[in-house]
Amino acid sequence: MEWTKSVIRIFIDGQLCHSLVNTSHMPFNKDFYIVLNLAIGGGFAGPVDPLFTESAMQIDYVRVFK
């Protein structure tokens, strides 16, 4: 990803796949938070085992570029 004051470009395997004009109205130019969440349940991954009681999410690092 390339993020400048004028443009945001998204790359996959080094190939540009999408770009958009970056303006002061874009939500990416406001303060925001990083949320790391271990969500359990819902229909995406199937039903939760009824014997399940707890789990942990171990994070090695989070990298933020300014």
Classified as helix, coil or strand, 29 is helix
Q: Look at strands 7-12 and 15-21 and give their pairing.
A: antiparallel
**Residue 9 CB neighbour total at 10 angstroms:** 14
Q: Which residues, 6 or more positions from 21, have their beta carbon under 8 angstroms from its beta carbon?
A: 6, 7
Please state whether the predicted TM-score (pTM) of the whole model is above 0.85: no
CA distances (Å), 31 to each of 27, 34, 52, 64, in order? 9, 10, 37, 13
Summarised one tens digit per residue, pLDDT across range 43-62 is 777 888 889 888 888 888 88
Summarised one tens digit per residue, pLDDT across range 17-46 is 999 999 888 887 888 888 888 878 777 778
pLDDT of residue 22: 92
